[in-house]
Amino acid sequence: MEASLFLLFLLSFYSFIPNIISTTTNVITTNHNITDGETIVSSGGTFEMGFFSLSGSSNRYIGIWYKQILPMQTIVWVANREKPLTNTSSVVLKVTKRGILALLNDKNEMIWSTNTSRSVQNPVAVLLDSGNLVVKDANDDNTDKFLWQSFNFPTDTFLPNMKLGKNFQTGQDVYLSAWKNESDPTPGEISLHIDPTGYPETVVKRGTSVLGSSGPWNGLRWSGDRVPPPNQSSIYKIQYVFNEEEVSYSYYFIDSLMLPRLVLTSSGYVQGLMWVNQTKTWLYLSLPPNTCDTYSVCGAYGSCDIDHSPVCSCLEKFVAKYPQQWEKGDWSNGCARRKPFDCNKEHVFLKYSGIKLPDTKYSQYNTTMTLDNCRQVCSRNCSCTAYSSLDIRNGGRGCLFWFGELIDIKKISGGQDIYIRMASSELVSEAGSKRKTAKILAVSFSLLMAMVLLGLILLLYKCKKNKLKLKEEFELPLFQLSTITRATDNFSVNNKIGEGGFGPVYKGVLEEGQEVAVKRLSRTSKQGLDEFKNEVIYISKLQHRNLVRLLGCCIQGDEKMLIYEYMSNKSLDSYIFDQTKSKLLDWPKRFDIINGIARGLLYLHQDSRLRIIHRDLKASNILLDMEMNPKISDFGLARSVAGNEMGANTSHVVGTHGYMSPEYAVEGTFSVKSDVFSFGVLVLEIVSCKKNRSFFDQNQSLNLLGYAWKLYKEDRSLELIDEQLAGSCHISLVLRSIQVGLLCVQQCPEDRPDMSSVIMMLGNSHGSRLPEAKEPGFFPEREVLDADKSGSQNELTITSIYPRINLLRNESIASLLVMLSKITRKRKKGKRRRKAGREILVAQLAQASQMKASFFLLFQLTFYSSVHKISTTADIITTNHSVTNGETIVSSGRTFEMGFFSPSGYLKRYTGIW
């Protein structure tokens, strides 16, 4: 009897062995599945995979965690994060014969799968000791032939040997996505990407809004590193790749026993952690966040320095755009040049050192130029704002060019040099100026008294002559400054109706009761005296119902003003780009506006006394009168061409990005067809209520022109129409307008119709079929490369710059508009870098201290602390909003902050106020 019982016990024991084996294998095969309660373990015993639940939740997930870190599971990857399980009694994780790893319920319905398209003869799923779950052929370990791997679909954790970035050939984007909260792994709003737009940089986003940026890679590190990382080649290696095939960032440690990880939290904070086995705790390696880590906190040309108060200041030679707001701590509007530069006059590039390079979304690059070549190329293109060395290794090589305003600049130790375009007068040395002043005073004093009398006589004569000259030259009334001052109530803020690059616009009422708009040229205006005279001369000779009427001008001392008829409905952009006001424009009214603009352009190009090319046609330059009739305005950049000439060349490329034609923006060649291109952009904007320069199709990487053309080629143009037009539009007429718009924005100027043809096309709604539109001019990379091969002598053409990586070949240079992100400041600078306690072994402490100094500096994916928006904007803890480690609340006046902290030299955490 005892023998029988013993045999029965042995049989029972051995029948249990398969369950034990399932916890020691690292493979799932077509014959071996995983059910709830079973796991697989990587060959080295580092990682484990199976079913798990989070504290306080009954939901079950499939995930990967550290095997030996107990008792709390540290989850590094979740498979079914969007589809949690509530009942796993009959759920199984299996590998199908087609090579798909699938999570199936009791009805054999697929909850989650790898969804691979390829198949292999003997498929298996293997958990590697790196934490990577791979599906492959059992007999083939070639990583390039893996069917699927979890490292290509990370959740919130960045592990060693994982690559973040984008594959330009497949379009796959590998990025981190934070959990919704600590107890819910559902994807939240926060994500971390390597953004390849312009020149790659790492960004943390909340939805589509950028919260923090690392700056571009400079060959050694991300330029936003607060201090250069020390040489740690004996501890870790980093790899950054950027070529035509991919952009990626990865790291690994020489000592595989070290367990580092990078975690993107739900509050937008990126934590760097290292497991300390002796103390059984995670050592925090990330530097504390500060205000300067907030994206564009100081606005354009503003520099953030956390060691100064206030933290924001304008770059040298720049002044605050709005001093009163700046003094109140609102720095979002940034700064402007103290002396605006004129491309027709001498300019220089001023060197600024020790900074994190600006946001590179609107940049171009070249990998072979010298720094001197960079200066020459940038100086030939008026749109080029600044340049810097692309790779700082071995003395520097390559160029990085910026277009438009420079944002997201901060002062950091070990920062880089950047060269910003300035008026040449800014470089006059103060010491040299004093010496010259002394010499001039000595020489001129003897002549001064004699010249005073002569000067007074000449001044009286000149004043009288200038008045006569201005009257003859401008052929329109000259207003006295006192008249305009009274009309605008001394340029009262209450009468200010707009602001442009030239300066403010005021509403005024003349003594006889006539309402006028006064365009006042500011001293820092982008529009110089030549452009001012240009606008006066041209518009005074033009008379058309679709052109704004100039009533006169005022030139007195430093004041230069234009007096226009007042347009009560302001500009077109205030309607079509506003969700509320756009409802006031039904389709008949929009079509009338399109036709009115077309008639105004036809007059300029063909019917006026002068053949005028506007060069700056855009929505904000279309004014609307009381009856919503469109009137073209702002002729400061207009040029006339003689006789039968249709265009000209210039080295002074000015205009508005998003509306400039390709040949003008790249080669400096402008013609009536340049205006036609701008008109086409306007038509598409009016129909869609979307801005060309800020619209971006995430799925196809297209701007508005590319998106419209793609829909047109797929016979889906109706999808472009503003949904508010559904009840008022004539479908065939709208589709015809879209096609006319696409004909106007074609790549080659020769393919674009002239304005007389455009008016015929718009008016002949039941007539002949329109020609097929060709690809629009949204600046593919080949354009600039082709320009290089052509041997053009035009100085403006930049022949060696790579304007976009291939993935974004359709984003135009003309669309390089600076988009200023306004986000709330994050936590103030802390002093809470954690240090290991005395109980850590000396060798471990040495390694840990090295890691604290450089771990996050290496993969500036964290930018240490880049975004902490939610926790820093609230001063309240409620039943629905708690505070966890890494989050804080800040008092309404931003005086005090509360959260978790560790005193220097201790690992223990406390909650306190500082």
If asked whether residues 128 and 226 sit together in one domain, one would say no
Mean pLDDT calculated for residue range 192-214: 94
Instruction: Give 184's strand partners.
Output: 181
If asked whether residues 657 and 679 sit together in one domain, one would say yes
Q: Is the pLDDT of residue 602 over 90?
A: yes
Residue 883 covered by a domain: no
Q: Contact at 8 Å (CB) between 104 and 111?
A: yes
Question: What is the structure's pLDDT at 901?
Answer: 81
Residue 891 covered by a domain: no
Residue 911 covered by a domain: no
The 3-class SS string of 192-245 reads: EEEECCCCCEEEEEECCEEEEEEEEECCCCECCCCCCCCCCCCCEEEEEEECCC
pLDDT band at 653; cut points 50, 70, 90: confident
Residue 541 covered by a domain: yes
If asked whether residues 335 and 369 sit together in one domain, one would say yes
% the chain with pLDDT above 90: 49
Q: Is the pLDDT of residue 672 over 50?
A: yes
If asked whether residues 194 and 329 sit together in one domain, one would say no
Q: Is the pLDDT of residue 83 over 80?
A: yes
Q: What is the pTM of this model?
A: 0.50
If asked whether residues 55 and 21 sit together in one domain, one would say yes
pLDDT band at 261; cut points 50, 70, 90: very high
Q: Is the pLDDT of residue 496 over 80?
A: yes
Closest CA to 335 of 366, 363, 372, 301: 301
If asked whether residues 539 and 656 sit together in one domain, one would say no
Domain limit, last residue, from 96, 124, 153: 153
Question: What is the structure's pLDDT at 306?
Answer: 87
Which amino acid belongs to residue 413?
Answer: S
pLDDT band at 10; cut points 50, 70, 90: very low
H or E segment and range at residue 3: helix 2-22
Q: Which residue has better confidence, 469 or 146?
A: 146
Two tokens, residue 513? 């009761």
- Which residue is listed with tokens 């004043």? 463
Residue 417 covered by a domain: yes
If asked whether residues 601 and 534 sit together in one domain, one would say no
Domain limit, last residue, from 499, 534, 565: 565
Which amino acid belongs to residue 241?
Answer: V
Domain CATH for 592:
1.10.510.10
Instruction: Give 284's strand partners.
Output: 273
Cα 799 to Cα 367, 430, 782, 785, 806, distances in angstroms: 13, 38, 11, 6, 17
Two tokens, residue 122? 């003997």
Residues 6+ apart with CB under 8 A from 14: none
Q: Is the pLDDT of residue 692 over 60?
A: yes
Residues 6+ apart with CB under 8 A from 72: none
Q: Which residue has better confidence, 780 or 490?
A: 490
Question: What is the structure's pLDDT at 277?
Answer: 82
Looking at residue 287, what DSSP letter applies?
A: P
Residue 447 covered by a domain: no
Could you count the other beta carbons within 10 Å of the beta carbon of residue 430?
Answer: 6
Domain CATH for 42:
2.90.10.10
Least confident residue range of 564-568, 576-580, 788-792: 788-792
Residues 6+ apart with CB under 8 A from 200: 165, 194, 216, 217, 242, 247, 360
Instruction: Give 127's strand partners.
Output: 133
If asked whether residues 718 and 615 sit together in one domain, one would say yes
Q: Return left, alpha or beta for 420; rule: phi > 0 is left, psi -120 to 50 is alpha, else beta.
A: beta
If asked whether residues 289 and 304 sit together in one domain, one would say no
Q: Is the pLDDT of residue 448 over 80?
A: no
Q: Contact at 8 Å (CB) between 60 and 52?
A: yes
Q: Contact at 8 Å (CB) between 828 and 901?
A: no
If asked whether residues 380 and 421 sit together in one domain, one would say yes
Question: What is the structure's pLDDT at 780?
Answer: 41
Q: For 788, what's the count of Cα atoms within 13 Å in the CB-facing half-sphere?
A: 11
Total domain count for the chain? Answer: 5
Question: What is the structure's pLDDT at 699?
Answer: 58
Phi, psi (degrees; rounded to nearest 5) at 143: -60, -30
Mean pLDDT calculated for residue range 776-794: 41
Q: Which residue has better confidence, 223 or 21?
A: 223
| Residue 616 is a catalytic residue | yes
Domain limit, last residue, from 378, 405, 430: 430
Q: Contact at 8 Å (CB) between 250 and 169?
A: no
Q: Which residue has better confidence, 867 or 585?
A: 585
Q: Is the pLDDT of residue 808 over 60?
A: no
Per the structure, the complete domain to which residue 62 belongs is given by 16-153
Q: Is the pLDDT of residue 678 over 60?
A: yes
Residue 662 covered by a domain: yes
- Which residue is listed with tokens 């700046």? 326
Domain CATH for 523:
3.30.200.20
Q: Is the pLDDT of residue 569 over 70?
A: yes
Task: Select which of 225, 408, 616, 722 is catalytic.
Answer: 616
What single string gives the DSSP state of each residue in 96-118?
Answer: -TTS-EEEE-TT--EEEE---S-
pLDDT band at 553; cut points 50, 70, 90: confident
If asked whether residues 650 and 764 sit together in one domain, one would say yes
Q: Is the pLDDT of residue 392 over 70?
A: yes
Mean pLDDT of the chain: 80
Residue 885 covered by a domain: no
If asked whether residues 418 and 552 sit together in one domain, one would say no
Question: What is the structure's pLDDT at 864?
Answer: 37
pLDDT band at 814; cut points 50, 70, 90: very low
Two tokens, residue 325? 């707001």
Closest CA to 132 of 143, 121, 122: 143
- Which residue is listed with tokens 């061409």? 641
Phi, psi (degrees; rounded to nearest 5) at 712: -65, -45
pLDDT band at 857; cut points 50, 70, 90: very low
